[in-house]
Amino acid sequence: MRRGGILHYARFLPGDYSYALRVHARTMLGGSVPEAYRHGELSPILLLPGVYETWRTLRWFGDTLNAEGHPIVVVPGMAHNRRPFLWTAQLAQAVLDAHDLHDVVILAHSKGGLVGKTMMLDTDTGGRIRRMVAVNSPFSGSRMARFMPTPGFRAFRPDDPFLSRLISEVEVNSRITSVFADFDGHVPDGSVLEGATNVRVPLDGHFRPLGHPVGRAMILAAVRD
């Protein structure tokens, strides 16, 4: 079976999208941010979801890490994360500044990793962010973006000016752990990031690592460092 071929996609996409649909169905039910998220003695965890996702996409990780003693930071104003990278980074940074949070660890999925890197480069002037764990983030863009008609996806084109600058800036990469699937249909060229800690998960799919026991264990290990 050719990697990235039609048969390969047909094999893993149903499981990948079935998980994504279940998560999105749960997010449509809404629900407030848990009061417990405000409390904890360990490093605060900032959740940054992907495009057309809400923080609830990462709810399982938030609940698990909060139970271990981490305060969990979410940015409801991001909504479904369709705005430009810098706009969203500024919004998330305002939350960190307002609560005077330090030693923050970002846990991001997909576009959230690009927002997180934007924060590390452009908005975190006070040094509040210690590091980031990004799952299946298109750090070098995605050639699939040229097939998507909406602005939310076109921003992932490798030739997008803002993304090109993010790609060229490598000084913060040493503080990033990029966790990525063996093959990601949304980011077929992969999420290996120069100078970062790169962790390959033995699963296929853009969403499946978030819900599979193996993916969850590897993501949590990266966050726990």
What pLDDT is recorded for position 100?
A: 97
Separation of alpha carbons 157 and 149, rounded Å: 12
Pairwise pLDDT comparison (104 vs 22), residue with the higher score: 104
Q: What is the pLDDT of residue 188?
A: 84
Three-state DSSP state, 108: strand
Q: What is the pLDDT of residues 150-182, one digit of tens each?
A: 666 667 787 888 889 999 999 999 999 999 999
Cα gap 121→90, rounded to integer Å? 11
6/104: higher pLDDT: 104
pLDDT of 187 reads: 86
pTM of the model: 0.90
Please report, for residues 4, 97, 100, 111, 155, the alpha-carbon distance to residue 170 in angstroms, rounded to integers and kept in the order given. Answer: 28, 25, 27, 18, 19
Report the alpha-carbon distance of residue 211 to residue 60 in Å, rounded: 9
Q: Which CATH class is domain 6-30+44-224?
A: alpha beta
Q: Is the pLDDT of residue 213 over 90?
A: yes
Q: What does the domain layout of the chain look like in residue ranges? A: 6-30+44-224
Q: Using one digit for the tens of pLDDT, what is the confidence trace for 115-151?
A: 999 999 999 999 999 999 999 999 987 776 565 556 6
How far is Cα 135 from Cα 68, in angstroms, rounded to an integer? 21
Summarised one tens digit per residue, pLDDT across range 34-69 is 999 999 999 999 999 998 889 999 999 999 999 999
Name the one residue in this structure whose structure tokens are 């271990």.
68
Residue 90: its pLDDT value, please? Answer: 96
| CA–CA separation, 121 and 89 (whole Å) | 10
